[in-house]
Amino acid sequence: MTSAHAYELPSGEQLVVPAVDDDAVAAGRVVPLSRNGRPVAVLRPIDPDQAWFWTPEWQEGEREVDASLADPNREPRAMSGEEFLAHLDEIYASSRREAA
């Protein structure tokens, strides 16, 4: 299954998919988008194995990481392999408690 990602436009704005290409995204082809007759963007198919990356939830997580890395007060901390695995176990146990 092919996926595509779109963003909301300001009120009154429109992007037009040419009628000839109505099924092009489903067929996995690149589709030009236009506004007032001028090309402004293209829709490109997303590899189904990579579609998870473009979900709103994953993108929110990406923004959180970017903000954390940009924080000048952040103190970087290296973990040993054992500490890292213990940290993952802690996250997993926490998520299971929240789900229960």
- The answer to whether position 83 is within a domain reads no
Backbone angles phi, psi at 27, to 5 degrees: -85, -5
Each residue's pLDDT tens digit, 24-39: 666 767 777 777 777 7
- The answer to whether position 91 is within a domain reads no
In the chain, the number of structural domains is: 1
Residue 1 is predicted with a pLDDT of: 41
Residue 97 is predicted with a pLDDT of: 87
- The answer to whether position 100 is within a domain reads no
CB 17 within 8 A of CB 31: yes
Q: How far is Cα 74 from Cα 1, in angstroms, rounded to an integer?
A: 41
Domain that holds residue 8: 1-74
- The answer to whether position 36 is within a domain reads yes
Each residue's pLDDT tens digit, 70-100: 988 888 778 899 999 999 999 999 988 888 7
- The answer to whether position 79 is within a domain reads no
